[in-house]
Amino acid sequence: MRRISILGATGSIGQNTLDLIRRARGDYDVVALTGGRNIAQLAADAREFGVEVAVTAHEDALPDLRAALDGTGVEAAAGAAALIEAASRPADWTMSAIVGHAGLAPGMAALREGATLALANKESLVTAGPLLLATAKARGARILPVDSEHSAVFQALVGEDIAEAERVIITASGGAFRDWPLEDLPGATVSQASSHPNWDMGQRITIDSASMFNKALELIETKEFFGFTPRQIEVLIHPQSLVHALVGFRDGALMAHIGPPDMRHAIGYALHWPTRRDLPVERLDLAAIGSLEFRAPDLRRYPALGLAQEVMQAGGHAGAVFNAAKERALDHFIAGRTGFTEMTAHVTEAMQAMAPHAEAMGDITLETVAEVDHLTRKQMDAQIRSRA
């Protein structure tokens, strides 16, 4: 029996992970599940899988969680320290699927215990890539990418020498506003930005797909995880979301990963790695699909891609600044305090204001990343207030 924990179990990735586990119940012993506000889901899953411990991130939600788990024998806990404690319990495989910066410390705790970390939380690599890789190495832990593009790159590299890869192309659907006239983008609403043409995901990553802040994170993630240089990493618009990434080798060959837009593929690959098992995903009929469409991204529509290049060049804490700035700008957009296209202007301004602080912060540790994150959010809030 493999011991499994899922951080962010109530979210889109967490639920897809549980869907796969549910299909082979006898193979897995689910140790810990964590969630946030969705106590009903967390309690229902904790009961169903008979877990050791269920944790909500929010202390004020603990009474509800306790009540929902009464009589089940499942421990209930809440708060940041409880998340770390749950993530530290011995497990063979841990899914890191909390959204945002909040996912970093719990994922690190699992790595420190030597678990295989299936990493969906891209913010961890963006803000603390070197720390994550060094911890995994020191503790004999393994990180397996779950973001679909990175799973695709990982799969395209199986059996290859990465030193012979000369470029990586990650694809982007183009998001909700791919075909909108540019002049309409400033008026885009939260609900318009929250619908994705191909993927069914959490709200925040869906809006980040429309702005391509998501793709910007993925460029940085590619650099951090695989060690490619910024120049080697490209983005290609591919409206159908069937080709997830391509790796180009020194002999001119391109290895493409093609599959349906269903996160259970990448999650299942990480779950069963290094083997492949049956997965309940659609089988593509390429003759029915007929053709695959690609085009270059327009930086006027997706200025976040330009910012990603700056972050990759700068290195150090620039990723933590960028991530915090875009997370906070998104909070303000969702709350109606700033416009869709204004998010990039705000992130650019915050990056400039924060650059000297980020540089002075020194080595990447959980503490320095948390400090940079905190200062950047304050900076963003001040910017939003001054424009109000």
197 binds, among Mg ion, ligand NDP, none (CB under 5 to 8 A by kind): none
Contact present, 77 and 59 (Cβ < 8 Å): no
CA distance 228 to 222: 7
Per the DSSP assignment, residues forming a β-bridge with 36 are none
Tell me the per-residue interface mask from 34 to 53 with ligand NDP, x by CB under 6 A, - otherwise.
Answer: -xxxx---------------
State the nearest-atom distance from the C-beta of 37 to ligand NDP, in Å.
4
Number of residues that bind ligand NDP (CB under 6 A): 28
Q: Which residue has the tokens 């159908």?
A: 240
CA distance 54 to 45: 9
Tell me the per-residue interface mask from 107 to 146 with Mg ion, x by CB under 5 A, - otherwise.
Answer: ----------------------------------------
Instruction: Specify the DSSP class assigned to residue 297.
Output: P
Interface with ligand NDP (CB under 6 A), residue from 68, 69, 105, 120? 120
β-pair type (165-172, 233-237): parallel
The nearer residue to ligand NDP, 199 or 249, going by C-beta atoms, is 199
- Number of residues that this document lists for the chain: 388
The nearer residue to ligand NDP, 214 or 379, going by C-beta atoms, is 214
Tell me the per-residue interface mask from 162 to 201 with ligand NDP, x by CB under 6 A, - otherwise.
Answer: -------------------------------------x-x
Hey, what amino acid is at 282? E
The nearer residue to ligand NDP, 12 or 376, going by C-beta atoms, is 12
Number of residues that bind Mg ion (CB under 5 A): 3
Nearest CA-CA partner of 236 in 224, 248, 227? 248
Tell me the per-residue interface mask from 267 to 286 with ligand NDP, x by CB under 6 A, - otherwise.
Answer: --------------------
Helix, strand, coil percent values for the chain (each to nearest 5): 55, 15, 30
Establish if 147 lies at the interface with Mg ion (CB under 5 A). yes
Establish if 117 lies at the interface with ligand NDP (CB under 6 A). no
Contact present, 218 and 323 (Cβ < 8 Å): no
Contact present, 315 and 308 (Cβ < 8 Å): no
Site for ligand NDP in 230-269 (CB under 6 A): 263
Establish if 57 lies at the interface with ligand NDP (CB under 6 A). yes
